[in-house]
């Protein structure tokens, strides 16, 4: 993978981590970087290092925005995309109570998550590309079917999110219902983690 491609991908991840809702699944981008790294270019360890750094910088930008004058604007914009202020405050509360160790753990966890997706692309990427090339039309049709199923899943999640929003004067019990956004619908690991969290 060449330097220009890595820097472009890093910029996309940085902007996403800064809070801009780019409708591209970051985990798939990182898996793609792993696939591309099998074909040469930068040393393999350099790619995830650059990408992890970009996500940390993006997180710092978001943290700065949420603590500054742009906080109200940021929270209103996030609300338009289904991210409720209560969820943001709950996450911020966990980090406040955990202090520096909680922040360090978050950075390490994000680094492990990103590196694991990169390694997945690195290990299974080339065989998967060859399989796709050999399967041709059958695989394209399977992809279309999966896309339709994914779109249906996204619609169901959007409907449930709308139904779960508290109406004025009505309180939800417990922590309410935290739902995935459509970008998580493509990652089995993300779906499994969310199911465990809600269970």
Instruction: Please indicate, yes or no, whether residues 54 and 91 belong to a single structural domain of this protein.
Output: yes
Q: Give pLDDT, residue 160.
A: 76
Instruction: Please indicate, yes or no, whether residues 100 and 183 belong to a single structural domain of this protein.
Output: no
Phi, psi of 145 (to 5 degrees): -60, -45
Instruction: Please indicate, yes or no, whether residues 121 and 141 belong to a single structural domain of this protein.
Output: no
Number of domains the chain contains: 2
**Please, what are the averages of pLDDT over each run of 10 residues along the chain (199 residues)?**
91 87 81 87 91 91 77 76 74 76 83 89 78 66 77 77 56 38 46 51
| H-only helix segments in the chain | 3-17, 26-37, 46-67, 71-80, 85-135, 137-164, 188-198
Instruction: Please indicate, yes or no, whether residues 191 and 93 belong to a single structural domain of this protein.
Output: no
Instruction: Please indicate, yes or no, whether residues 111 and 148 belong to a single structural domain of this protein.
Output: no
CB-CB contact of 85 with 66 (8 Å): no
Rounded CA separation 75/92 (Å): 13
Instruction: Please indicate, yes or no, whether residues 122 and 58 belong to a single structural domain of this protein.
Output: yes
Q: Which of 86, 111, 134 is the last residue of a domain?
A: 134
- 116 token code pair: 């694991």
Residue 46's domain spans which residues?
1-134
- Residue count of the chain, please give it: 199
């Amino acid at each position: 993978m060449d330097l220009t491609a890595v820097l472009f991908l890093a910029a996309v991840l940085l902007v996403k981590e800064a809070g801009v809702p780019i409708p591209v699944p970051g985990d798939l981008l990182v898996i793609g970087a792993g696939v591309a790294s099998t074909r040469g270019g930068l040393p393999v360890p350099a790619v995830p290092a650059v990408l992890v750094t970009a996500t940390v910088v993006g997180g710092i930008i978001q943290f700065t925005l949420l603590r500054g004058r742009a906080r109200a604007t940021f929270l209103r914009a996030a609300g338009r995309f289904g991210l409720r202020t209560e969820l943001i405050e709950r996450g911020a509360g966990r980090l406040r109570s955990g202090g520096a160790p909680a922040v360090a753990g978050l950075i390490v966890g994000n680094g492990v998550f990103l590196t694991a997706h990169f390694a997945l692309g690195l290990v299974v990427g080339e065989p998967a590309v060859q399989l796709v090339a050999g399967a041709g039309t059958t695989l394209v049709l399977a992809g279309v079917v999966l896309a339709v199923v994914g779109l249906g899943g996204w619609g169901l999640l959007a409907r449930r999110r709308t139904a779960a929003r508290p109406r004025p004067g009505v309180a939800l019990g417990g922590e309410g219902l935290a739902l995935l956004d459509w970008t998580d619908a493509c990652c089995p690991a993300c779906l499994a983690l969310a199911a465990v969290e809600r269970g």
